[in-house]
Amino acid sequence: MLAAAACAGCGTAPLPDDDLVTGSIKPKPIALKLPLGDTPKGIAASDWLAAKLALDQALVSADADISVPWENADTGARGTATPIGAQRIGGCRDFMIAVVDGKVADRWIHGEACRSREGTVLSQVRVLGRA
C-alpha cells in the first residue's frame, strides 16, 4: 500500500526525453489548391484570394444551399461565396461572390467554376453592380 501511495502520479511525471524529437516523421508542407482564375478588375488581389478560398469550401460542401463567408483582415473587405444551381455535366457550376469593402459600392462577382481532378478553374468571371 505504501508503495502504491509513493508512486501515485508517477505516470504523469515527465521523463527527461519527453521533448525528444527523433525526426522519424518529417513534416510535409501542403500546397493549398486554390481555384485558378485571374483577379477581376477593381478587386484587390488579397480580397480575391480570400473569396476564392471561401468559394472552394462552398463548392465541396454537401449542403446544396450553402453560402460561405469570407473576410480579409488586412483590407477590411468581406463577403460571401455562394454556388448557384446544380452542378452541370462536366463538373461546372455558376457562383456569386459578394464583396463589401467600404471603398466603393458593394458588388457581386459572377462566374463559372469547373472542378476536375487537377483542381477548380474559374471562368467567365465578371464584376456586376451593387450587391
pLDDT, tens digit only, all 131 positions of the chain = 555 555 555 556 555 555 666 666 666 666 667 888 899 998 999 999 999 999 999 998 878 789 999 999 999 999 999 999 888 888 899 999 999 988 888 899 999 999 888 889 999 999 987 65
Whether 59 and 93 have beta carbons less than 8 Å apart is answered as yes
The per-residue pLDDT for 1 is 53
Centre a 10 Å sphere on the Cβ of residue 101 and count the other Cβ atoms it contains. Answer: 18
Which residue type, as a one-letter code, is found at position 43?
I
The per-residue pLDDT for 18 is 59
The per-residue pLDDT for 112 is 95
Instruction: Provide φ and ψ at 10, rounded to 5°.
Output: -65, -35
CA distances from 72 to 10, 25, 50, 57 (A): 48, 34, 6, 16
Grid cell digits, residue 107:
458588388
Alpha carbon distance 85, 111 (integer Å): 12
